[in-house]
Amino acid sequence: MYALKLSFFLLFLGLNVNSFAQSKPGKAKRNIIWLMPSKAREINGVALGPVMTYRYPQRVNGLSAELIGTGFFPLLMPKSTMMEKHANDTIYQHINGLGFSGTGTLNNALQVNGMLVNIFIGISGKCHGLQVSSMYHFIGDLRGVAISFFNEVDTAKGLQIGFINKINNSAGTLQIGLWNINHKRQLPLINW
């Protein structure tokens, strides 16, 4: 049993060292399972690691799992640039499929095509699908459903469900929550 645990540890250690040892960022394409953060430009299958890659353009087709995530950084650095809330026209991170984060994903250059689940906080540039966070999330451009305690979106077309929902520019978005705010009005329970 000890030998099996040791071999798995060495296997993951080797994959992790290999992911950082790539000489040319943005050239590699990895399949099946790969560890993050990584310089791989495209990961097809499962991308697994403590946090996602933030420095290099990357596309994950499948499952992106941040075991720790970056949602705890605002507690350590309240004035961090990671908490900047603005729509980002420069999208260079993509998750096509399912994204999961232990504490949260803070990346306004991220586009999600599918579903993103954050335990606490989520910030993404674009979401085409479903984004779920327990406490708070900000989405630059939402085309789908956002579920959280407090939702904030720049532009949206779809549905927001939460206690407090805010949209800066809505185009056919239904809001369901205790207090709902859009550019036209503020209403309790339901807003459009």
165 burial (CB, 10 Å; 0-12 / 13-18 / 19+) is buried
| Residues across the chain | 192
More confident of the two residues 71 and 49: 49
Q: Are 159 and 147 in contact (CB under 8 A)?
A: no
**Where does the pLDDT of residue 165 fall: very low under 50, low under 70, confident under 90, or very high at 90 and above?**
very high
Here the tokens at position 191 are 């807003």
**Arithmetic mean of pLDDT over the chain:** 80
C-alpha of 52 from chain center: 9
